[in-house]
Amino acid sequence: MENVIEVKGLKKSFENQIALADVSFSVKKGETIGFLGPSGSGKTTTIKILTAQLLPTDGHVKVFGQEISKLQNPAYMKRIGILTDNSGLYDRLSIYDNLALYCDLYNVDKVKIKEVLQAVNLIQDQKKLVQKLSKGMKQRVTLARAILHKPELLFLDEPTSALDPVNTKQIHQVLKQLNKEGTTIFLTTHDMYEAEYLCDRIAFLDRGEIKRLDTPLNLRTKVDNRTVTLLLKDNQTVHMDMNDEGADKIYQYMRNGEVISIHSNEPTLGDIFVELTGRDLA
């Protein structure tokens, strides 16, 4: 399948600070890929380079088969949607008028506004001025704007960082649906649940380097620290490693009829991140 994003040997430095050391990856059409990493690992820098807001120090970056410099071309901008922290919304305009302005810019029928406002749960608030909105509401307006023109490729920098659990769930469903309809998604997050729920593949980013890039399932199964917890009839709980020795013990407990339940403790993506990098995701 065709690659929508191709990155080879990407480096970015800010004076003495190396933000991206040597990053290579590609994203196929229709994929949702996530960059998961703690604060300062280089997630925003990656997204800013991919959306032509920052120039790389070195390396090759192609989007839709074209060098990144072409992304500044309006024809390419129409093919992508961007949600970043710097929202670019007009504070003195209402939610509706902000979106209407984008409809004019992107040649989109204004009937689409109602549809996207419903998707991000803001239909009741459409007349409110942006300057009066909470951080979470602004984040949802920015998402509405990013998907208004139904882009082929959506860049999301921590899309739910300011949202409560109810709105987070709703936005996750919106993103799943968009992806189902063919939108390729590149997102950054430090939320392992978000990464696991949304992404086909996840890159573990640490200090400007991809430490591992794989499907959530492979990331989990390649780490060998699973344990099992047994609840026994005398209400005792026993933890053991999932290895030959553990299996022998489980067998003994079962033979003696002592076992009420067996619970397998899968490592979370956060556990695996710590194991690979020695650092926490937070």
Ligand X SMILES: Nc1ncnc2c1ncn2[C@@H]1O[C@H](COP(=O)(O)OP(=O)(O)OP(=O)(O)O)[C@@H](O)[C@H]1O
Return residues touching ligand X (CB under 6 A): 14, 17, 19, 37, 39-45, 190
Residue whose CB is less far from ligand X, 39 or 264: 39
Q: Per residue, what are the HEC states of 76-126?
A: HHCCEEEECCCCCCCCCCEHHHHHHHHHHHHCCCCHHHHHHHHHCCCHHHC
- Smallest separation (angstroms) from ligand X to the CB of 81: 19
- Smallest separation (angstroms) from ligand X to the CB of 12: 8
How many Å apart are CA 91 and CA 6, to the nearest integer? 36
Structure tokens at 250: 């489980």
Contact (CB, 8 A) for 63 and 215: no
- Smallest separation (angstroms) from ligand X to the CB of 143: 17
How many Å apart are CA 282 and CA 41, to the nearest integer? 11
- Smallest separation (angstroms) from ligand X to the CB of 136: 17
How many Å apart are CA 262 and CA 249, to the nearest integer? 12
Residue whose CB is less far from ligand X, 113 or 198: 198
Find the farthest-apart pair of alpha carbons in the chain and give their distance in angstroms, rounded. Answer: 74
Residue whose CB is less far from ligand X, 41 or 139: 41
How many Å apart are CA 45 and CA 56, to the nearest integer? 9
Residue whose CB is less far from ligand X, 122 or 143: 143
Residue whose CB is less far from ligand X, 190 or 201: 190
Residue whose CB is less far from ligand X, 116 or 203: 203
- Smallest separation (angstroms) from ligand X to the CB of 14: 3
Structure tokens at 103: 């409809």
Contact (CB, 8 A) for 124 and 158: no
- Smallest separation (angstroms) from ligand X to the CB of 280: 13
Residues facing 61 on adjacent strands: 7
Residue whose CB is less far from ligand X, 14 or 90: 14
Sign of the C-alpha dihedral computed for residues 274, 277, 281 and 282 taken in this order = positive
- Smallest separation (angstroms) from ligand X to the CB of 88: 17
